[in-house]
Amino acid sequence: MQVAIRHIFISPGHNFVGHHGQPAGEHRAIGVPEVICRAGRGLEGDRFHGYRPDYKGQISFFAWETYEAVKREFAVPALAPGAFRRNVLVEGADLNALIGRRFSLGGVIFEGTEESKPCHWMNAAVAPGAEAWLRGQGGLRAKIITDGRLVVGAAELAVLADGPELSWTRAIVQDGAVKIRETI
């Protein structure tokens, strides 16, 4: 199915994680036209790249439709799309349906792990009441399964079949013979 990647953001540091009871950090979300996804590690240049092994939030997604609804609901038409601190704003995808599923977006494979639950900081970053309003539509946290590149613009989204753990076989051929074969 065709979707649109509307924005991609990375941030070199945490604004909210580890700041409970303190002021938010000052690391801005930086809009980029494309980003390199690293399997099991995160997005190059982002605060969660290499954060911890098997981390459930190597990348986060947010629905463009929710972003537009928040601007209307809270009368904040100038709200920047990076205010939510999610990496990828995507239009045309049911993000909650991807929880617990493997999917491909723009040729990169991800595994949806859980809702990217809104926290109390949303009340300051967006508007009072935003945390409660966003419950159930805070976005998607995911693991990155394969290396690849995401680019702003049209992208193909495919939910992969349920079943046993996916694997691929990579073979290196030299002089017409398979020299190395490994399953990844």
Mean pLDDT by 10 residues, the chain (184 residues): 97 56 64 97 92 91 98 97 94 98 98 93 91 96 97 98 53 50 46
What is the token pair recorded at 23?
A: 């002021």
Query: What pLDDT, on the 0 to 100 scale, is given for residue 183?
Result: 47
What's the domain count of the chain?
1
H-helix segments, 104-176: 122-125, 130-134
Predicted structure pTM score: 0.82
Q: What is the pLDDT of residue 156?
A: 98
User: Which structural domain range is residue 8 located in?
Assistant: 2-183
List the structure tokens of 128: 């009072």
CATH of the domain at 115: 2.40.33.20
Q: Are strands 140-144 and 108-115 parallel, antiparallel or unpaired?
A: antiparallel
C-alpha–C-alpha distance, residues 41 and 53, integer Å: 8
Q: Is 60 exposed, middle or buried (0-12, 13-18, 19+ CB in 10 A)?
A: buried
Q: Please, are residues 46 and 55 in contact by the beta-carbon 8 Å criterion? A: no
